[in-house]
Amino acid sequence: MKPLLEEWEAGRPAGRSRAAHEQAWPQAAQLRADLDATRAALAQWAALLAVACGIPDLSAAMPKPPAGT
């Protein structure tokens, strides 16, 4: 079974950019929200591991992803 986004991408009409087609996916907003939640959870785990290891939490120095990605 193909992932839903992969199926959507396979139906891209000629003349439409990949980015525009992906952004038009009806589930794009939910995907982005899920990615943001996963990113936040991973950042919390990284901070916890830094404390456990007695090292500075460098995740705060990581650049933030552009809005909408």
- How do residues 1-43 score in pLDDT, each as one tens digit? 679 989 999 999 999 999 999 999 999 999 999 999 999 999 8
CA geometry: angle 19, 33, 44, nearest 5 deg: 120
- Tell me, what DSSP letter sits at residue 45? H
Q: What is the rounded average pLDDT of the residues 39-61?
A: 89
pLDDT of residue 69: 58
- How do residues 39-48 score in pLDDT, each as one tens digit? 999 989 999 9
b (16+ CB within 10 A) / e for 15-33: eeeeeeeeeeeeeeeeeee
